Structure 1
């Protein structure tokens, strides 16, 4: 479903653009493009007085799985948000410990405090963090917008599957240019 509007109670939520993910491959959008577009959206949201929430991931589920993380060793600062994001003091930061932000009540509580009813999502990875957060928003009757040219995945085909087959059922799909136009 295409973008209808950016609501007066919208927040930009940027997922997992941190030291530990910066060097990962990203398709179809390069990590540098995702960062650049997320920063441009953050500036526009701030100009409108709308919240910007930078989310990092600092762990994963402790549930038993058959797949290993395969990530090897991580640097001590792997959870740090990237300096090029230009996080401002007025911005919110949120640390999650699972794929999506709604894994416990803390993110829903933050949105309630900020009186947010719409999430505009960017970041990595589309099939994990973005899709899980969009699904969580949908389950809580919060409108979600996924910015298709400001997200990426380890595999372009997986990214496209999420954007074309899954996310349209739970979110609006838009581009950076469309969101910037709608917010002005």
Structure 2
């Protein structure tokens, strides 16, 4: 469903646009393209006095703060360079932005994101970032479960595999909220919120 309206209190939540993840080979958009669109969204939200939350994932190299459970995925944490988890320079540094650090996929689990948004009266969030099927989808699911109206900027996100991106955009996101392009979201924001 295309974006039809914004609540009077809407926030932008940008997932994991940090040094190591932005440089990974993503599809259907490059990390650079995703960052460019996220910057465009952040600029529009700032201009309208709407909150922007920058979410970053981090982990200790020894894995001691990782979520418990056995997985088939290898642990590459020890090989990550210094500063891998820093928010990209193009987005970092706005004094009014909310910064959230997570250690799992969802920006809501084990963080104060929900508290920060509710303190500001936020009832709707727009999501962008990396990766579509992991950080963005997990956060979208949690936002929906927390009772937020969810909007997804589908050209401001990408994944490591096109099949994973498409599954989220085509099958999962329509169950959680509305989807639209960065341009459509910026234009809707400019028209005013409901």
Structure 1 residues without counterparts, runs of 5 or longer: none
Quick one: distance in 1 between partners of 2:30 and 2:89?
A: 17
Partner of 2:119: 113
Does the 8 A contact of 1:39 with 1:86 survive in 2? no
Quick one: distance in 2 between partners of 1:151 and 1:167?
A: 12
Partner of 2:33: 33
Partner of 2:63: none
Query: 1:138 aligns to what SS in structure 2?
Result: helix
Q: CA deviation at 1:63?
A: 2.7
RMSD: 1.4
Does the 8 A contact of 1:149 with 1:176 survive in 2? yes
Quick one: distance in 2 between partners of 1:105 and 1:177?
A: 30
Query: 1:122 aligns to what SS in structure 2?
Result: strand
Number of matched residues?
184
Q: TM-score, normalised by structure 1?
A: 0.94
Does the 8 A contact of 2:158 with 2:165 survive in 1? yes
Quick one: distance in 2 between partners of 1:71 and 1:27?
A: 23
Q: TM-score, normalised by structure 2?
A: 0.90
Partner of 2:14: 14
Does the 8 A contact of 2:101 with 2:111 survive in 1? no
Structure 2 residues without counterparts, runs of 5 or longer: 60-65
The yes-or-no answer on 1:151 pairing with 2:157 is: yes
